[in-house]
Structure 1
Amino acid sequence: MARPVFADPKTDFVFKRLFGSEEQKDLIVALLNGLLELDETHRIVSVELLAPEQRPAVAELKHSIVDVKCRDARGVTYVVEMLVLNVEGFEKRVVYNVAKAYVGQLGRGQLYPELNDIIGITICDFELWPSGEGRRVPMLSRWRMQEQHGGERGLGQLQFVFLELPKYDVSRPPQTVVERWAYFFREAENLTMVPEVLAQPPYVDALEAARTAGFTEEEWEAYLRAGMALQDERGALSLARTEGRREGQEEGLRQGIEALCEVLGIALTEAQRQEMAALDAAGLSALLARIKARQGWEP
């Protein structure tokens, strides 16, 4: 199989290769500065990667959610995550991870003033907050606690940043730092050359690190298997949702039949209930139509 020019940076293997390795620490610094929109005075200049993980065996890959944890010179810890599938409980998991990182700083004998801020940065390959009904959350959103009456901000020890990739406006070239990062994550695997909008650091450096020609055979095979694992999970999630909709439709039809029978004064026998339980959506629909037409349960 011919290799694409660039690997997909949204996969676990490539994401950690780019942003979770000592060799590419400049990239995680640039990503943090870009997504936090820090000015020159407050820019992060160096980070320490926490609990560095070796690239895992493919069978162990967490192929829907990956994370990189690092700490800057001020002591602030960043939990950087990529999520490609909208799994159940995602928002709770993000809050849990950030809160766990905050609590985990305090060892035995240490005092509360020694705790540093934690900032969770999550890149989503889906819309977490779709626009509609008067709500519009921008592509890059930042969240922290706020007093509900006067709007005063406080308790900033835990902060959350989300980049929703589908909200990137594909009708025009990227113009801001945040848009360039969104464009990189969305389009890297489809590019055949370095585009002009990504031709300067740090984006060109990220593309070069994702260039598949630099992968060893072992790394390439790991990347392929990681992609297959992700496709398998997508398929399993899609099947589960389809099954859930089907089961919900069938249960709704059964409830409709029972309600109609109650209105018509039809007492359902145990045999009829068992018959109804064995029918799929099409059979239930046909049974409902017969009852409506004949006002009775006849074969």
Structure 2
Amino acid sequence: MRPLFADPKTDFVFKKIFGSEEHKPLLIALLNDLLELDAAHRIATAELLSAEQRPKVAELKHSIVDVKCIDAQGTRYVVEMQVLNVEGFEKRVVYNVAKAYTGQLDAGQQYPELNDVIGVTICDFELWPGRDGTHVPMLSRWRMQEQHGGARGLGQLQFVFLELPKYDAGETPRTTIEKWAFFFREASNLRVVPEALAEEPFTGALEVARVARFTDEEWDAYIRAGIALQDERGALSLARSEGRSEGRREGQEEGLRAAVRRVLARRGLTLAAEAEAQLAACTDLGTLERWLDQALTAATAAEALR
């Protein structure tokens, strides 16, 4: 039996809700709420920008979903749903925001014409799990800060993260942020519209995700996106488990080396002689584990060993 609502974390549904002209008010509402903008500074209009090419690594194209837009003041937004926690995730987020910033200038234009860029990322995993006594809230905002006096500046690049696993309000979300987290986490499990989400923009988002409104082609696309995402999740799990298994049988170092070679081979990438010698000579477990993670996403075999 089909669910009442489709999972908004999947590629197809996230773009359907937040990446279309028809439902652009939902994207604006999401940005206003996650940016915690007051009435005087709320975004009123936005223009959707054409999506850039998907990630080069085909195995991970369904776990990275992005929508780009610009508001009336010129501020640009890169809104992403990240389902899998992969090596280099934070660097990729910074890269995407920085690229959106520098990509504004064409030949002959001047630096004053650059507008601010804000990256808004929804994570279906804990990015900062609170190690070493530090605590990062479910919704966190990041910008540059002077390290001696604490003054904030250079705000041209800003970052906002919503970590869904940190949601702990159960079935009774109260704040707007809690309601968005509840929506993303639980929409596909709902059998009725709960009282907490019985208001805009959540009712509107749920209506877009209502499976009964899907055409047969849209339902097939949704199912394919879900299968692809599970395949990506399985590839990550398999690579890491193979590394651990090989490590128990043949020694941790050689087991991780074998796993790196196997993952690269499955992706059709071949280590050159110099890179193979680098891999064979490495005895640091942390480095080998990092290379194994990078082997899943690197565009070339050489990049996996950086």
Please, what TM-score do these two structures have when normalized by structure 1? Answer: 0.80
Alpha-carbon distance in structure 2 between the residues aligned to 1:5 and 1:40 = 34
Q: Give the % identical residues.
A: 74
Equivalence for 2:97: 98
Q: Please list, as runs of the form range in 1=range in 2, the aligned pairs for 1:54-203 lying within 5 A after superposition.
A: 62-171=61-170, 173-203=172-202
Correspondence for 1:251: 251
Which letter does structure 2 place at the counterpart of 1:238? S
The whole-number CA distance in structure 2 between the counterparts of 1:179 and 1:242 is 34
Report deviation, 1:46: 0.7
Deviation digits for residues 247-272 of structure 1 (CA, Å, limit 9, x no counterpart): 344324889xxxxxxxxxxxxxxxxx
Distance 1:254 1:209 in 2: 50
What residue is the counterpart of 1:38 in the other structure? 37
Alpha-carbon shift at residue 22 of structure 1 (Å): 0.3
Counterpart of 2:179, as a letter, is: R
Question: Residues 101 and 118 of structure 1 are in contact (CA less than 8 Å); yes or no, is this contact kept in structure 2?
Answer: yes
User: How far apart, CA to CA, are the structure 2 residues paired with 1:51 and 1:253?
Assistant: 45
SS of structure 2 residue aligned to 1:40: coil
Which deviations, in whole Å up to 9, do the C-alpha atoms of 1:152-208 show, x marking residues without a partner?
A: 100000000000000001446111111110000000000011100000000010000
Instruction: Say whether the 8 Å CA contact 2:169–2:178 is kept in structure 1.
Output: no
For the aligned residue pairs, the C-alpha RMSD in angstroms reads 2.0
Matched-pair contact (CA < 8 Å) for 2:59–2:232: no
Residues 45/242 of structure 1: CA separation in 2 closer, same or farther (3 Å cut): same
CA offset digits 1:30-82 (Å, max 9, x no partner):
0000100001111000100001589xxxx999210010000000000000000
Pair member with larger Rg: 1
Partner SS for 1:22: coil
Contact 2:244–2:252 (CA under 8 A) maintained in structure 1: no
Q: Secondary structure at the match of 1:197?
A: helix
CA, structure 1 residues 63+173, in 2 after alignment: closer, same or farther (shift >3 Å)? same
Residue of structure 2 in register with 1:271 after alignment: none
One-letter amino acid of the counterpart of residue 177, structure 1: T
User: Residue 7 of structure 1: SS of its match in structure 2?
Assistant: coil
Residue type of the partner of 2:218? Answer: E
Alignment CA distance shift 1:252-1:163 (3 Å) = same
* Aligned mates of 2:89, 2:246 — CA distance in 1: 24
Q: What's the CA shift for 1:134?
A: 1.0
Distance in 1 (CA, whole Å) between partners of 2:37 and 2:150 is: 23
Task: Give the deviation of 1:103 after TM superposition.
Answer: 0.4
1:131: how far off? 1.6
The change in CA–CA distance for 1:53 and 1:199 in structure 2 (over 3 A counts) is farther
Counterpart-to-counterpart distance in 1, 2:82 and 2:47? 23
What amino acid sits opposite 1:90 in the alignment? Answer: F
Query: Which SS does the other structure have where 1:119 is aligned?
Result: strand
Secondary structure class of the residue paired with 1:169: coil
Note the alpha carbon deviations across 1:97-117, whole angstroms, 9 max, x for none.
Answer: 000000000110000000000
5+ residue gaps, structure 1, are 256-299
Asked if structure 2 preserves the Cα contact closer than 8 Å seen for 1:21 and 1:52, the reply is no
CA shift, 1:3, in A, is 1.4
Contact 1:5 1:189 in 2 (8 A): yes
Which residue does 2:229 correspond to in 1?
A: 230
Task: Report the Cα distance in structure 1 between the residues aligned to 2:59 and 2:46, rounded to whole angstroms.
Answer: 27
Matches of 2:152 and 2:212 in 1, distance apart?
A: 48
Q: Which runs of 5+ in 2 are unaligned?
A: 256-306
* Cα distance in structure 2, aligned partners of 1:60 and 1:225: 14
Letter matched to residue 226 of structure 1: A
Q: Is the contact between residue 12 and residue 61 of structure 1 (CA under 8 Å) also seen in structure 2?
A: no
Cα 1:94–1:53 change in 2 (3 A) is closer
- Counterpart amino acid of residue 251 in structure 1: G
Question: Aligned partners of 2:217 and 2:147: how far apart in 1?
Answer: 54
